[in-house]
Amino acid sequence: MARRDLIVVGASAGGVEALRAMVAGLPADLPAAVLVVLHLKAGGTSALGTILDRSGPLPAAAAQPRAELAPGTIIVARPDHHLLVGNGTTVLSHGPTESGHRPAIDALFRSAARAHGHRTIGVQLSGVLDDGAAGMVAIAAAGGTVVVQDPTDALYPAMPEAVLRFLQPDHLVPANELGPLLGTLAKEDVAAGPSQVSELDEAEADIAMNGDSGTGHDLAALGEVAGFGCPDCDGALVALRDTERFRCRVGHAWTAEALLDAQHDKLERALWTAYRLLEEKSSFARRMQQSAAESRIPAMERRHAGTAREAAESAEVLRELLLSGLPPHRVVMPDRDEAS
């Protein structure tokens, strides 16, 4: 018999509110360590540790490398670092992004499943897209406990719903019931059940912890070439066997939803760049038209006028498309230097 001594939590959009509600209900004598990943921008800072420290009875702080997993403490991921679980300690890794995120929820969940198995409780909270779903499958396969915020209670239900597409959770509750539930689960004796850490989960855990794919694992043997490029590095993606996920040679990972979203962003940037170039072409052609008029060269004047008109008309078509929100629905304007 053992106790569930590790709680790993994933959240994204709307997750701060859910985390505060969860932390407020945790008991002061919680006999488990709590590790939290909230999607963060790589170049930013995070006040989440301070926020959660003030939200409940347990101390919370940003993760430190090789810190002991102490019961009754909350450890929060740092920007631009995966938060992982090693042999009883935290591991901070600058490994490849997963679905564009570092820290990534799947990376934490997968490492916890491998290190703690049936002693792990995974918690999926509010967020968009589907980071965390594959990691929660790994926790379940390792005999861990799956807890999901009720999608009807989440500000953004997509991440909880993503887990529900693959698993029947052990507990489906609103955020304000999570703290007491986790306190109860952590104090129960639990027998070791069948634990299955797949070859794929082992490979992906190693990649997140050790960096690129130079870990002795052959990703090509774990799937087949997908025919798509990686949005992060343009490398060929491998469709991982029996999953809806992809990885490239250097280790960037993508879920199907995140890959589609990233492709939309890349397409939109290309369209904005094309729109800008057409506007510049039209402007330059008008300048050439004026120069030809001043030089009294009618044929050249007509040719440049036609070029200016065609470029302006094409630019207007692109502008209307982009401002309509289709495709995709989010508008991302490129910097001039980036687009050049």
The residue annotated as part of the active site, out of 39, 171, 217, 252, is 39
| pTM flag (> 0.75) | yes
Greatest CA separation found in the chain?
A: 95
Q: What is the pLDDT of residue 101?
A: 93
Whole-angstrom distance, CA of residue 311 vs CA of residue 165:
47
- Portion of the chain with pLDDT greater than 90, in percent: 65
CATH topology for 2-190 is Rossmann fold (3.40.50)
Cβ(219)–Cβ(32) below 8 Å: no
Whole-angstrom distance, CA of residue 105 vs CA of residue 30:
22
Indicate if 39 belongs to the active site: yes
Whole-angstrom distance, CA of residue 272 vs CA of residue 275:
5
Domain boundaries, the chain: 2-190, 258-339
Indicate if 335 belongs to the active site: no
pLDDT digits (tens, 9 = 90+) for 170-198: 999 999 999 999 999 999 988 877 667 78
The residue annotated as part of the active site, out of 131, 153, 201, 206, is 131
Which parts of the chain sit beneath pLDDT 50? 213, 328-340
Whole-angstrom distance, CA of residue 245 vs CA of residue 34:
27
Q: What is the pLDDT of residue 278?
A: 92
**CA dist 33 → 115, 135, 219, 227 (Å):** 14, 18, 32, 42
The residue annotated as part of the active site, out of 12, 99, 111, 282, is 12
Q: What is the pLDDT of residue 202?
A: 84
Is residue 306 helix, strand or coil? helix
Q: What is the pLDDT of residue 323?
A: 83
Burial 15-53 (b: 16+ CB within 10 A, else e): bbebbbbbbebbbeebebbbbbbbbbeeeeebebbeebb
Indicate if 118 belongs to the active site: no
User: In which residue are the tokens 């509110």 written?
Assistant: 17
Whole-angstrom distance, CA of residue 258 vs CA of residue 137:
18
